[in-house]
Each structure stands twice: as C-alpha cells, then as structure tokens.
Amino acid sequence: MSELREKHPEVGTCVELFAGGGGLAMGVHNAGFRPLLVNEYAKRAIETLQTNEMPGGGKWPLKPGDVRLLRNDFKELAGQVDVLAGGPPCQPFSLGGVAKGTEDERNMFPQMFRAIQEMRPKAVICENVRGLLRKSFNPYFQYILNEMRLPFVEREEGATWEEHNEVLEKLLANDSAPDSERYIVKHHPVNAADFGVPQIRQRVVIVAFRADLGLNEVNWDKFAPKDTHSDEALIHSMREGGEYWARHQEVSEEAKARAIANLPKLNYNNPKTKEKLALQPWRTLRDAIHGVDEFEGHSLPPVSEEAVNSKAQVGVISDHFGWPGARVYTGHTPNLLDRPAKTVKAGVHGVPGGESVMMMDDPTFDGSGYRYMTVRETARVMTFPDEWTLAGPRGEKMRQLGNAVPVKLGKVFADAVAAALNSVGALEKP
C-alpha cells in the first residue's frame, strides 16, 4: 500500500525548494529522483520533513531556513541536478490570499530563477495556483515564462521586472541565445482530479528543459501528462454502470438516491463525452476514505459523534481524530462524499482548513448531518501515504496539506519529465 515502504529505481537527482509538508518532494522522489537538497522555511513543515523518512528509507537532505540565504549551496550543485522542483508560495497570486502578486514579499519566483541560474538543472517542475493565469497577472506570468526561458541573462541593477522583460522579449524574438543558455518552457493548466486525485484542485504546472539537451515543445508534448480520469466516467459509473456503488455497498439506498439526484445527465451522442467515458472515473471523497488505488483495501475507521465531540483519535492510523463545531453557512458549502473533495486550502475565513466540512450519509449525525474531515482524511485526498505524519496542532497540519502538491500529481509530472529526458539520453550516467 505505502509509497514510503516502496523502493523506487533511481533515475536521476533532484532539488526541492519550498518543500512544505513534502507532497511534491515525495512525488518527484517516487518517480526515481534522489534529492540532493530539500529546502523549507516554515517551522512546522520543517518538523514534518525531519520526522518522516524518504520513500524507501533515509533522511531528507534538509536545508531549513530562508531560501534567500542559500548561496553557496546552489552553486556547489551546479551540473549535478537533473530536476529542480518547487512550488513558490502561492498566496501572492491566490484568490484565497491578498493577491498582491509581484508586490507581495512572499513572491519567491525570483529565488526559483536564481536556483536555475546557479544549478543549471536539466529540467524544472514548478507548480502554482491557477490564479497566476488571471488576466490581472498575465503580464507577470509571461515574465515568469520568459525568465525561465533565458535565466542566465542578468537583470540590470535597479531595473524593474517590466524593463527586464523587454530585454528578454527582444532576445527571444532575435533567437540569439545559444542552446546552452536557454530553456524550452511549457505551462499546463491542470485539475488534479483528472489524474486520479480525489479532489478538485485547479493548478498550473510549468515544465522547462535545457535547450541543449535536444528537447523541444513538440518532443515534450509526446510525454506531457494526459488526463486519465473524468467526471463523465464517474457519473456513468454512478448512474448507469453501477461499478461505483458495487465498490460502496455500505451506502444506504436513501444516500445513494440523493447522490444520483444531484448528478447532471450525460449526452452520450457527444463525441467529447464518448472520449471522456473511455477514461477512468474521478475518485471521490468516499473512495479516499474507504480505500481505493494507493489505499486499496485500507478503509479508515468510521468517526463517531462521541469521537467528534471529544476530539478522540479513531483507530491506529495517525491524525484520524474527530473535531467538533462543523457547520455550513452562506458561501460555505460542504464536501459531498460521492464527489471529489473540494480544494484543500491552507486557510479560509481565518481558520486553517475551515472549509473541510463534509455532509454525512446520516442527516441526523451530531444533530446537523455534518462533521469536519479528519486530518488523515484530508491527507488522503492529497494522496499522502498513511504513514506520513504531520507536525504541529491541527490547524498547522491542515495548513501544510493545503499548501502542498498532491503526491500523485507530482509523480505524474515527474514520471513524464523522466521519460522525456530519457528519450534524449539525458539521464544516462557516464
């Protein structure tokens, strides 16, 4: 069951920046990349990385602290890094944050650019919120892509990013930079649910390859991740096929009818619908709790009203404890068991994990029909292994999960990058 116990053949090396609770780091490592350096700033996230071993065993090569203070570390790794991965803090560009963008001191993209300059990795995987693609941020997003395409062009002292972007655009238009000094860059808007993650999570993943490796956008498109799951396939399996309910025979007829009644109808004559039906069904919150895919056969024990009100741990898997006070209010809808979970957030309405309310099958549960998801249930919809423990109080654990990249999504992109690099012999060791 566990990715933590599974040893993966090594295909290359990686560096992970802004590691947080370890989602992307685990995903890249699970694809076979051995970490040379892992950086994180937040105290509780550092404790999480210190507490847990890497998949297959061994401590993470952690360099805690402010990434801006890592100077010699990057330069010493020049020429040794196959993949640089990281999700710079998303709050500057998130609808859930203040959305100050480039003016926000939490904008760490400049540090990502510096890491590329100093380490010269063969490939880069960079994840961020879909808000980065908003119209208001589009000029800066184009600058991010241009800076990654020409990371070795020094920005003049005192120059604004707009002024530096003009320089980059002229060089790109002239196509004058040698292959060894530029990267091929492609961005991918994704929904994690389309890759088997039991959660609606809209993100953008930027992938870059050093141009002298011989890869171009056409080559990368052959390996770039394609959707493997669809909502249409889930709806069909619930409405017509019956496979979904065969997997969840414990569900009452009343709860089943309620879930089906809320589903849209499918147009089976639509060619696009037919394409979607050929994929696997989206995974749901109920799937995650009861154990499918990487959790196959390992159902989390039910959380009783007593466990909710006493904040009691349920069973032996860590972080599966009740939490009282769940309620639904205007603008705050619950998670539904038979849909993918809503986006796990680092904090909302001043409460980390505040939207993690779920509607129960039993409308009389705890007098309201609702309860909070446990930390472990939340970790499952982020596809974190059950053995992965999180440091800090409940709010901090939920914050780490909300800031993370789903492990499965990270592995999907790292696998694709490994395949692309292998296609040109870039991972072959001398």
Give the mean model confidence (pLDDT) for residues 229-246.
Answer: 93
* Percent of the chain clearing pLDDT 70 (strictly above): 91
Residue 199 lies in a domain: yes
Q: What does the pLDDT look like over 183-202, one tens digit per residue?
A: 999 999 999 999 999 999 99
Q: For 105-144, b where at least 16 C-beta lie within 10 A, e where not — what string?
A: eebbbebbbbbbbbbbbbbbbbbbbbbbbeeebeebbebb
Tokens describing residue 246: 């065969």
- Which residues pair with residue 125 across a beta bridge? 85, 207
Per the domain annotation, does 371 fall within a domain? no
Q: What CATH number is given to the structural domain containing 123?
A: 3.40.50.150
Which secondary structure element, helix H or strand E, spans residue 126, and what is its range? strand 123-129
Per DSSP (E only), the strands in 193-234 are 202-210, 229-230
372-419: per-residue pLDDT in tens? Answer: 999 999 999 999 999 999 999 999 999 999 999 999 999 999 999 999
Q: Are residues 154 and 223 in the same domain?
A: yes
Quick check: 62 pLDDT over 80?
Answer: yes
Q: Are residues 179 and 243 in the same domain?
A: no
Residue ending a domain, among 278, 301, 317, is: 278
222 in any annotated domain? yes
Whole-number pLDDT of residue 331: 73
Domain-located, residue 365: no
Residue 298, in any domain of the structure: no
User: Are residue 178 and residue 256 in the same domain, yes or no?
Assistant: no
pLDDT at position 247 is: 93
Give the pLDDT confidence score for residue 71 in this predicted structure: 85
One domain, residues 193 and 254: no
Give 245-257 pLDDT, tens digit per residue: 999 999 999 999 9
| Residues acting as catalytic residues | 90
Q: Is 247 found in the same domain as 234?
A: yes
Residues 198, 132 share a domain: yes
**174 and 84 belong to one structural domain:** yes
Examine the fold and report which residue of 240, 262, 278 is the final residue of a domain before the chain moves on: 278
Same structural domain for residues 243 and 271?
yes
Residue 352 in tokens: 């980390």
Say yes or no: 71 and 162 in one domain: yes
Same domain, 196 and 149: yes
Q: Is residue 350 in a domain?
A: no
**Percent of the chain beyond pLDDT 90?**
78
| In a shared domain, residues 176 and 263 | no
Question: Which residue segment(s) compose the domain that 254 sits in?
Answer: 230-278
pLDDT for 99 beyond 50: no
Question: Do 164 and 239 fall within a single domain?
Answer: no
- Domains held by the chain: number: 2
Q: Give a yes or no: residue 98 inside a domain.
A: yes
pLDDT computed for residue 208 by the predictor: 97
Which has the minimum average pLDDT: 4-18, 69-83, 349-363?
349-363
Does the pTM surpass 0.85? The reply is yes
